[in-house]
Amino acid sequence: MFKNETNIKANYIAGQPDIWTGRKTDAELAPQYWYQHISCGSLYDLNENNAPKFGLIGYACDEGVKRNFGRVGAVKGPMLIREKLGKLPLHFKQSVVDFGNITCVDANLESCQNAFTLAIRHLIENKVFPLAIGGGHDIAYAHYKGLKEALPQQRIGIINFDAHFDLRPVEDVANSGTPFNQLLSEFKGKGEAVDYFAIGIQKQSNTKQLFDIAKHYNVDYVLSDACSDSKEALQQLQQKLKPIIEQNDYLYITIDMDGFSSAYVSGVSAPSPLGFSPKFVYKVLAFLFESKKVLACDIAELNPKYDTDGQSANLAAKLIDYISTLN
């Protein structure tokens, strides 16, 4: 039984089997596609005896994007990613369960984040690898807090693929631009070490104040123009990543879809022609997973409202699929 059931009830919808459809295959064959392999379940029923390897969990919320004056629509991201994911061919054998969505009710971002934190904590406590899909990048604040609540004595580093630092100070209310400032100030304020590494930062998308905040918190980062999939560029990045890998017990990876060039991803709140390529991200993910320290991943900021031919959602789904083959 999920001991925090009453604390997430208002925001939680369990996995829905009718979402998962795809190409029909011979019934005598083993599952060939995601939709044939994945099961749907409820966090309320999860325990150590029935825990899958992977737990898909949605963060159906773009209130943080709205508060940040971005283009709303990411609330529908989790649904579209599932639709694309279900149709992908299957290339791994580990069990995976769709545990449904944490939703934002009455524009209450804080309640939604609290519920998501509890959901992540429950997955980790039952040794389930969270594959989280958003939703705005405020998912990161809730996701990391859930990891730390489950593993309070462990040091967990943050790797963020993103055009933005998301280090804005909270002025009136939190939003999609504040999650890492919140985490760094809260945990470092308690004397805990939090390492944050941002990959793909664009100068045109971050003010000088944000670079100053990054310096204040000793945030390491790589600018977008250095995010090449050439052998030399990847080797340089790997050398920069080694310290955060070595000094942390675990790693949490978060991928903001607006870090990709708009040539690949149009369906985001803040598209940019400058950005990294899918090939680059695939290679860096493979390197990070070689460490055997990756604890959880999420995909943020997919906005179906502005997607072209579903290509952004298709890439998000393929990232989830690729991560599943690495773990």
Which residues are annotated as part of the binding site for Mn(2+)? Answer: 137, 162, 164, 166, 256, 258
Provide the pLDDT for residue 5: 67
| Of 165, 14, 217, 224, residue with least CA distance to 101 | 14
Q: How far is the C-alpha of 161 from the C-alpha of 164, rounded, in Å?
A: 9
| Of 110, 111, 13, 2, residue with least CA distance to 57 | 13
* pLDDT tens, residue by residue, 80-139: 999 999 999 999 999 999 999 999 999 999 999 999 999 999 999 999 999 999 999 999
Residues paired with 196 in a beta bridge: 158
User: How many other C-beta atoms lie within 10 A of the C-beta of residue 218?
Assistant: 11
Q: How far is the C-alpha of 227 from the C-alpha of 259, rounded, in Å?
A: 10
Q: What is the dihedral of CA 122, 125, 130, 136, to 10 degrees?
A: 50
| Of 168, 190, 189, residue with least CA distance to 179 | 168
Q: How far is CA 273 from CA 206, 266, 270, in A?
A: 15, 9, 10
CATH superfamily to which 10-326 belongs: Ureohydrolase domain (3.40.800.10)
Provide the pLDDT for residue 189: 84
Provide the pLDDT for residue 163: 98
Which residues are annotated as part of the binding site? Answer: 137, 162, 164, 166, 256, 258
Provide the pLDDT for residue 241: 98
Provide the pLDDT for residue 2: 66
Provide the pLDDT for residue 1: 53
C-alpha angle 176-178-182 in degrees, rounded to nearest 5: 135
Per-10-residue mean pLDDT of the chain, 327 residues long, equals 74 97 86 96 94 98 96 97 97 96 97 97 97 97 98 97 98 96 94 95 97 97 97 97 98 98 95 95 98 98 96 98 96
Provide the pLDDT for residue 29: 86
| CA 110 from centre of chain | 18
Provide the pLDDT for residue 67: 97
* DSSP sequence for 49-102: TS--SEEEEEEE--HHHHHTT----GGGHHHHHHHHHHTSBP---S-EEEEEEE
Q: Where are the domains of the chain?
A: 10-326
Q: Are 109 and 135 in contact (CB under 8 A)?
A: no
Q: Are 117 and 149 in contact (CB under 8 A)?
A: yes
Tokens encoding 272: 């940019």
The radius of gyration computed from the CA coordinates of the chain, to the nearest angstrom, equals: 18
Q: Are 197 and 220 in contact (CB under 8 A)?
A: yes
* pLDDT tens, residue by residue, 258-287: 999 999 999 999 999 999 999 999 999 999
Provide the pLDDT for residue 4: 67
Positive or negative: CA dihedral 289, 295, 300, 304: positive
Q: Give SS3 for 312.
A: helix
Q: How far is the C-alpha of 218 from the C-alpha of 196, rounded, in Å?
A: 8
Q: How far is CA 196 from CA 182, 212, 272, 282, in A?
A: 12, 15, 23, 20
- List the end-to-end C-alpha distance of the chain, in Å, as a whole number: 27
Q: How far is the C-alpha of 187 from the C-alpha of 191, rounded, in Å?
A: 7
